[in-house]
Chains A and B, each alone.
Chain A
Amino acid sequence: MTPAASRRSVLSGLLAVTATAGLSTMIPAPAQAQDARGILKAAFDNWRASSSHAVLEMTIKRASSTRRMTLESWTQGEDRALVRFTAPARDAGNATLQLKNSTYVFNPKLNQVIKLPASAMMQSWMGSDFSYEDLSRSEKVVDDYTHKLIGTKTIGGKKVHVIESVPKPKVPVVWGKQVLSVRSDGVLHSIEYYDQLGKRVRIMTADKISILGGRPYPTVMTMKTDAKPGQYTRVTTKSAEFNISVPSYLFTRSNLENPRD
């Protein structure tokens, strides 16, 4: 695996979902005395596939309302992802395309593609608790952070490694620190995000780990912002196929604007 291969953000990890059963048997179980970086790399590798097609449901809970949306995602390689919303009618047709370091959004009402400026990357994605930054692959936690195993605990009968990741000097990142919990079988259990002052800002947890594609996979994940109790965004993976052949034209601006399917 190239270092770039481990550059995968949380949500694109979710979208890309995991490797196939075939691939999974090739990934050895993490060794006992594995270093923190190795554990993380294995966890992110487990999330990865050379390509994927998945159907997800996103639930956005707010004080006064709850929105449920369905979306379809395709990924290819490390730097191509397309997300298209399919329901409800109000949101259907909106799409986000991730192409290398650029993010494009399509809105059916405008019938126009807009390239996101860097200054907008921290804005909420479709009104959820995720930002475009989460969606993009710029959160290169494995390579841009230094990792330290700070403990192990047992959750639901499974051993969980707790890893503290601090950004390397001079790397432009949003977070001051991340604390990641990874089950010993390589499934990411939670990620806590801290600001530069060491205050926790938000937490993403795996609420349900099911067998998907023949391997344990976090099929329900929830993102909560500490400052906004009672609000969350939950992403449920309904179905997924991995390492399938995805046509390259999917990840183009013209396809974003005029879907061929």
Chain B
Amino acid sequence: MIGALAWRNIWRQPIRTSLSMVGMAFTSMLLVFMLSFQFGSYDTMKSSMLKISDGYGQFQAEGYKDDPEISKVIPNADALIADLKNVPGITASSARTNGFVLLANGERSFAAAIVGIDPEHETKISTLSSLVKQGRALTPEDSGAIVLGDGLARNLRLKLGDPVTMLGSGMDGSVAADVLTLVGIFKSNVPEIDRQIAQMPLERFKESFLMEDAVNIVAVTGDKLYDVERVEPQLRKIAAKHSVVFLNWAELQPAVKQAIAFDLSTAMLMYITLVVVVVFIILNTLYMSVLERTREFGVLLAVGMKPGQIGRMVWMEMVFLSFVGNGIGVALGIALTAYFESVGIAFEGLDEIYAQWGLPSRFYPDMTPFRVLAGPGAIVASIAVLGVIPYRRALGLEPVSAMAA
């Protein structure tokens, strides 16, 4: 009954109502798009950085991250990987070993980080093998093969098929040496990776570096970063069971997390300003209309309506208005975002800068219920809360003086 009255009341002034709605709809639409785009870009940043080599999460021996010594190992990686098979959302896991070595070609030698990989599973986690521009990526059949970053291969003046001499320290500190054949050269466009990283088959690495069954890292991945984040408590439990630690994406890439946090905090200021301005403009309009209708409320009181009912009616008018306005906004926002989800947004001229971070030059918004509803929800909720002001105004009315107003 009161709801029906409130609904009819907001359409007594169709132009004013429409203007308010358009204002809210436009703001909501913007918020839906901007939040989806901003968080979508963050997702792209995170996942492209992580996909190059880290993976969405890693198991390591405690203290390995800060001081990556080859002797800090996961003793039984097979058992750990077997446990990960039962975790929902984890689509692949792969063991790795890491060594710091000298790679040499005759007189020329360079320091490099060599990663022992399991080619079968690694391709599901790291995009490096898909970035092989010359030759081929490692395959499960490989033994004495090596894949180098483009910069490293250039510095060493190596071409496909050349022997590469490797000299490093094994797990017990003794000299680890091997001669491998260059089968592929990758180019990620991230200079640090292209100049420093080499890959060789895990089993050969273990032999050369006397690792036995131990590995340094077990990297995991899922369809989306969120899928891995959701099962983090479970992953930490598995890590504890095997006396190792689990590192989430933020622990693997703390700089990216900080950059995102900083960017988000400045963006948040803007969003909050937008919501506050819109809410107060709408509230002002509605409060004015309540003041104008004092006489009408006096009549309603005189015919037997209780002040509380009038208050609720006024409050519901505001809530209806904001629901309809924001509803339209959400619909428009979804439509706009969906369009850009399909075409993406390119930042012309920034391609090279982004490439250094392993980022694509085109970004896509990505909608989730939170990203769509957070902005409009904040507007509706603020109006519902601040609607107490006109509500209280209605409570204080007294029929005779109100009708005289």
Contact = CB atoms under 8 A, between A and B. Distances in A.
Interface of A: 60, 62-65, 67, 90-91, 94, 105, 107, 109-110, 112, 114-117, 119-120, 123-124, 126-128, 227
A107 B104 CA distance: 13
B173 A60 contact: yes
B91 to A, nearest CB: 35
Contacts of A119: 110-111
B107 interface: yes
Nearest to A90: B174
A62 B71 contact: yes
Interface stretch (B123-131, B164-172, B364-372): B164-172
Contacts of A124: 169, 173
Contacts of B174: 67, 90-91, 126-127
Contact of A127 (B111, B172, B177): B172
Contacts of B177: 107, 109-110
Nearest to A127: B173
A105 B110 contact: no
14 contacts: A62-B71, A62-B173, A65-B173, A107-B167, A107-B177, A109-B175, A109-B177, A110-B167, A112-B165, A114-B104, A114-B109, A117-B111, A119-B111, A120-B109
A62 B72 CA distance: 12
A91 B175 contact: yes
B172 to A, nearest CB: 6
Contacts of B172: 65, 67, 127
Q: Which 4 pairs between the two chains have the least Cβ-Cβ distance?
A: A127-B173, A107-B177, A120-B111, A114-B104
B179 interface: yes
Which of B107, B110, B174 lies at the interface centre, i.e. has the most chain A CB atoms within 10 A of its CB? B174
Contacts of B67: 227
Interface residues of B, number: 20
Contacts of B173: 60, 62, 65, 67, 124, 126-128
Contacts of B249: none
A32 B100 CA distance: 48
Interface string B172-191: 11110111000000000000
A126 B177 CA distance: 12
Nearest to B72: A63
Contact of A64 (B71, B107, B167, B175): B71
A141 to B, nearest CB: 25
Given A107-B167, A115-B109, A119-B110, A126 B175 contact: yes
B100 A114 contact: no
Contacts of A123: 100, 102, 111
B64 to A, nearest CB: 13
A120 B100 CA distance: 10
A117 to B, nearest CB: 5
A119 B107 CA distance: 15
Contacts, number: 64
A105 B71 contact: no
Nearest to B168: A123
Contacts of B169: 124, 126-127
Nearest to B66: A227
B400 to A, nearest CB: 80
A114 B179 CA distance: 12
Contacts of A65: 172-173
B71 A117 contact: no
A62 B170 CA distance: 13
A123 B113 CA distance: 12
A65 B210 CA distance: 14
Contacts of A115: 104, 107, 109
A15 to B, nearest CB: 19
Contacts of A60: 173
B15 to A, nearest CB: 69
Contact of B109 (A63, A116, A126): A116
A58 B283 CA distance: 81
Contact of A117 (B100, B102, B170, B179): B102
A110 B101 CA distance: 14
B175 A94 contact: yes
A260 to B, nearest CB: 22
Contacts of B175: 91, 94, 107, 109, 126-127
Given A62-B71, A107-B177, A120 B165 contact: no
B171 to A, nearest CB: 10
A45 B175 CA distance: 33
Contacts of A114: 102, 104, 109, 165, 167
Nearest to B169: A127
Nearest to A118: B111
A42 to B, nearest CB: 35
Interface in B139-177: 165, 167, 169-170, 172-175, 177
A64 B179 CA distance: 29
A8 B251 CA distance: 43
Contacts of B167: 105, 107, 110, 114
Interface in B50-94: 67, 71
Contacts of B111: 117, 119-120, 123
A125 to B, nearest CB: 10
Given A67-B172, A90-B174, A124-B169, A110 B179 contact: yes
A94 B104 CA distance: 17
Contacts of A128: 173
Nearest to B166: A110
Contacts of B110: 117, 119
Interface string B27-65: 000000000000000000000000000000000000000
Given A126-B174, A128-B173, 5 more contacts: A107-B177, A115-B104, A117-B109, A126-B173, A127-B172
